[in-house]
Structure 1
């Protein structure tokens, strides 16, 4: 990408960058250019229109140019600016964690339909699910796990940034290996992409997200088998499970949960009417005593 003209306005620079990004195969080029510009200028996104006719400062121009070069190389915007809005809150995002997706907000919406005092988040990544639920339910407490210590550190930082860390317990755990206690709710967005599907993913996903957060390297169902096998032990009677799924996995996940004794399985769709979340309930007496 060529150097920006020092006499260019912010708007001129945006239009030129968007044209260049689009020519280099980047979708939603103007949207991405605007997001990168607000970070280069150090301003809130809703204030960008106030600066459009202003000359682009030299320092910000250099930062913006570097940002756009990275985006043209198909690096995700969230990786470039090291963060992402999720359910109205800003979350730190690094190469160690999955980039939060809007589709995951469907799980949040369903979780908030009922009251809960305690919940378990398995494979938390950035902590976007756990932190959001704690922020939305001021009296709730969480047990938050991930197999990656580096991911868990990012989740802890996000919890601290949103003033919910005192109500969260963080632990490194391989699925349920180090989980203790019972909970009103278990939530998880496990790695569900089948290995055969990995090569079909967008370059931004393959370059930006840790592969361990995308796939189980088996068949995409390992996480659901683990949750099905252990949920009853760690749910209070009548407790709930909510998991995000791949769009073609609903039937298999429902069957796994049903076979494990969970009941009232319901599938919820995302904004594009794709199956996205499975909910199930425990009705058996507690096995912890």
Structure 2
């Protein structure tokens, strides 16, 4: 048994030395997870039992090594969802919720969407968030990594969408039959030369294939935009995520393939994060 305040103080010092922002908060989050208590229950604790302390110390060592909190706990929140995460995928980020906000802006009628495709589905966060808003829709998620496709399928089951979704492993160049009312994608968009300089939580622990967008960061958009005219229904739209300063370039790539800009949407930090495109001539039936 050890006093909670002593454990948290020592942990915060270790996290601070490791260069982690807000070390006191991180220490409390780790202890809450290790002791299986929520914040209010944690406040009422004076001592930590041996089992929780051992679990905490293992988790603390991982966090001091800059492993992301979500990989330690195995969970992350996105939109209204509770998701399992793993090293097979990127951790869902709040910035990506801008894509769902943009989609709701251009498709306010919740009955107007019956089919959704998510390219590079990862945890399935974007697809499942869209299904949570469009109750009549069925979703298809594609990811190059089989482990990611399996993870997304588990998240669909976890959140009650298993009957309205399907996932498979394959490349964006794979033949996809049919057209979709909505195509979502958060593709790799970091320039190759910049990947190694990202914060350790990202550069060391998250999969490089989901980060590296090629020399200019735009390789994936060229592939996606080339495919979109054959993937969208007549009134369909694509909602793409991009990094800082990329939105004009992505819009220009879209124009090369007959796609016109419908909307730009900023994330909570004010960065243009989501671009909505549609076919200039309309898609299929």
* Structure 1: distance between partners of 2:173 and 2:11: 47
Task: Work out whether residues 146 and 172 of structure 1, in 8 Å CA contact, stay in contact via their aligned partners in 2.
Answer: yes
Measured after TM superposition, the shift of residue 100 of structure 1 is: 0.9
Q: 1:251 to 1:283 in 2, by over 3 A?
A: closer
Aligned to 1:3: none
Aligned to 2:40: 47
Aligned to 2:271: 274
Aligned residue runs from structure 1 range 98-247, under 5 A: 98-113=90-105, 114=107, 115=110, 116-247=113-244
Task: Work out whether residues 258 and 265 of structure 1, in 8 Å CA contact, stay in contact via their aligned partners in 2.
Answer: no
Aligned to 2:29: 35
| 1:22 aligned to which of 6, 9, 16 | 16
Q: RMSD over aligned Cα, in angstroms?
A: 1.7
Task: Work out whether residues 18 and 29 of structure 1, in 8 Å CA contact, stay in contact via their aligned partners in 2.
Answer: yes
Post-superposition CA distance 1:59-93 (Å, at most 9, x none): 10111111111111111111111111111322111
* Structure 2: distance between partners of 1:209 and 1:178: 28
Aligned to 1:92: 84
Aligned residue runs from structure 1 range 58-73, under 5 A: 58-73=50-65
* Structure 2: distance between partners of 1:137 and 1:37: 37
* Structure 2: distance between partners of 1:37 and 1:88: 24
What is the DSSP-based 3-state SS (H/G/I as helix, E as strand, rest coil) of the residue aligned with 1:67? helix
* Structure 2: distance between partners of 1:182 and 1:173: 17
Task: Work out whether residues 143 and 168 of structure 2, in 8 Å CA contact, stay in contact via their aligned partners in 1.
Answer: yes
Measured after TM superposition, the shift of residue 283 of structure 1 is: 4.1
Task: Work out whether residues 124 and 144 of structure 1, in 8 Å CA contact, stay in contact via their aligned partners in 2.
Answer: yes
Q: 1:41 to 1:178 in 2, by over 3 A?
A: farther
> Are residue 8 (structure 1) and residue 14 (structure 2) matched?
no
Measured after TM superposition, the shift of residue 8 of structure 1 is: 0.6
* Structure 1: distance between partners of 2:249 and 2:125: 26
Post-superposition CA distance 1:91-121 (Å, at most 9, x none): 1111111111110011111122314221110
Q: 1:43 to 1:89 in 2, by over 3 A?
A: farther
Task: Work out whether residues 80 and 129 of structure 2, in 8 Å CA contact, stay in contact via their aligned partners in 1.
Answer: no
Q: Tell me, which stretches of 5 or more residues in structure 1 are unaligned?
A: 1-5
